[in-house]
Structure 1
Amino acid sequence: MPHYLISFEKGSMDHFAEEDWPVVGKAAHAVVQEAIDAGVYVFGGGLDYENNDVEHAVVATDGMITDGPFPETKELIGGFMIVKVPTRDDALQWAAKQATACRCAQDVRKFMRDPELDI
Structure 2
Amino acid sequence: MKYLISFPSGAMTFPAEELPAVSDAAHAVVADAKAAGVWVFGGGIDESVPPVLVDADGTVTEGTYPQTRQIEGGYAVLEVPDAAEAHRWAARIAAACRCAQEVRAFQHDPES
Q: What's the TM-score once normalised by structure 1's chain length? A: 0.81
The alpha-carbon distance between structure 1 residues 10 and 114, as it changes in their structure 2 partners (threshold 3 A), is: same
Deviations 1:6-46 (A, max 9, x none): 01113221x12111000000000011011111111111011
* Rounded Cα–Cα distance in structure 2 between residues aligned with 1:9 and 1:63: 29
* Rounded Cα–Cα distance in structure 1 between residues aligned with 2:9 and 2:71: 6
Shift of 1:63: 4.7
Instruction: Give the number of aligned pairs.
Output: 109
Return the letter of the residue paired with 2:10.
Answer: G
Structure 2: tracts of 5 or more residues without a match = none
* Rounded Cα–Cα distance in structure 1 between residues aligned with 2:109 and 2:25: 33
Which position in structure 1 is the counterpart of 2:14? Answer: 16
Q: What's the TM-score once normalised by structure 2's chain length? A: 0.86
Which position in structure 1 is the counterpart of 2:2? Answer: 3
Name the Cα RMSD after superposition: 1.8
Which residue of the other structure, out of 102, 105, 110, is the alignment partner of 1:107? 102
Shift of 1:77: 2.8
Return the letter of the residue paired with 2:90.
Answer: A
